Amino acid sequence: MYQCCLSCPLGTLTSEFHLTSDVLIELIPCQNHTVEVVEGVSEDVKCAPLLFKDDFLSEQYFGENQPASIMTEQIHFGEGMHRRAFRTKLVGGMQPTFTAGHPCVLKVHNVVSQGTKKNEDLIHKNYNLAAEECYVQNTAREYIKAYTSVAKTTEEFGEVPEIIPIFLVHRPSNDIPYATLEEELMGDFVKYSVKDGKEINLTRRDSEAGQKCCAFQHWVYHNTEGNLLVTDMQGVGMKLTDVGIATPKKGYKGFKGNCATSFIDQFKALHQCNKFCELLGLKSIQPSLSKPKRTATAPKPKPQPQAKKKPFVFNLKSKS
């Protein structure tokens, strides 16, 4: 895309056309103005937010589709088990959530391969993976909103971490029709805790963001009576993304997470409370290390006094 003033002949085209770099090269650039070209593929998509009712665990639904245009880089910068992450920029739409040119991340759930668009089963799996990611991250976002309300009642707590929202994307013209879209976090990306309630990056063990993330895990664990845990706390500073949720196999209040129940067991065994847990009045989940009580034992029999032995005396008789 390009940036140009309205007085320039190119300026009249900004709202009507998506110009490729090849077309821009052929145009005569106006004097005293610059033309910025962003390499990528332009695409018209539809983005749907996940909405909640009073019971956000069991009453979740996707809202109305919002039309948007994005420009996505062709080479991915991150890869997971079922997805690839691409840098993209919003060209139009999605206001007021994003402004034009806002850097975003498009996560493509590539269980659907090229040329398999007509395979309904694969498309269904592609949708489920993208939708699940929206359910998990946005549900964790609702929990951290409630956590924020509690933390703000304590002035000493300070800034509270935020889990950013993520949107379901429908790509009608693409062979992989469903993906997710979220803001790109700029800066040093850190994994504050990985499934077990302790900071993994030892050089950041005492970081404020990391300790507040672990306290958030403890708060959720406490308020769900150990039935739900937000895992994989990671992000840039106080902004978090790509989190997971662990629940029992049968779920919790109608909600099923995307991580194994064993993550809850790991957290219960390894979490160590910090000052932010104490500020929220959270009690340690570790068993107290009290001294074992002595069991009653039968009294030992008293030793019986031994009879004194008479000294052996030799009788020496003289010879007659």
pLDDT above 90 as % of the chain: 55
The Cα–Cα gap between 100 and 94 comes to 9
What pLDDT sits at residue 96?
Answer: 86
Q: What's this model's pTM, rounded to 2 decimal places?
A: 0.76
Mean pLDDT of the chain: 80
The angle formed by the CA atoms of residues 157, 158 and 159, to the nearest 5 degrees, is: 125
Task: Write down the pLDDT at residue 8.
Answer: 42
pLDDT (mean) for 141-159: 95
Instruction: Quote the tokens at residue 8.
Output: 């320039």
Question: How does residue 200 score in pLDDT terms, banded at 50, 70 and 90?
Answer: low
In this prediction, residue 312 carries a pLDDT of 44
- Residue 17 pLDDT grade (very low, low, confident, very high; cuts 50, 70, 90): very low
Tell which wins on pLDDT, 226 or 2. Answer: 226
Gyration radius (Cα) of the chain, Å: 33
DSSP the chain: -----TTSGGGGGTTT----HHHHHHSPPPTT-------SEEEEEEEE-EEE-SSTTT-EEE---EEEEEEE-SS-SEE-SS-EEEEEEEEEE-TTTS-TT-EEEEEE-TTSPTT-TT-HHHHHHHHHHHHHHHHHHHHHHHHHHHHHHHHTTSGGG----EEPP-EEEE-TTSSS-EEEEEEPPPS--EEEE-SSSS-S-GGGTT-HHHHHHHHHHHHHHHHTTTS-EEE-EEEETTEE-S-EEE--TT-BTTB--SB-THHHHHHHHH----HHHHHTTPPP-SPP-PPPPPPP-PPPPPPPPPPPPPPP---PPPP-
pLDDT reported for residue 99: 87
What is the identity of the amino acid at 309?
K
| pLDDT above 70 (res 173) | yes
The phi and psi torsions of 248 (rounded to 5 degrees) equal -60, 165
Measured from the Cβ of residue 12, the count of other Cβ atoms closer than 10 Å reads 12
Tens digit of pLDDT for each residue in 35-88?
Answer: 344 578 999 999 999 999 988 998 899 999 999 999 999 999 998 777 899 999
Domains of the chain, start order: 1-37 (no CATH), 40-184 (3.30.200.20), 187-287 (3.20.200.10)
How far is 62 from 71, CA to CA, in rounded Å? Answer: 24
- More confident of the two residues 133 and 30: 133
d(CA 19, CA 10): 10
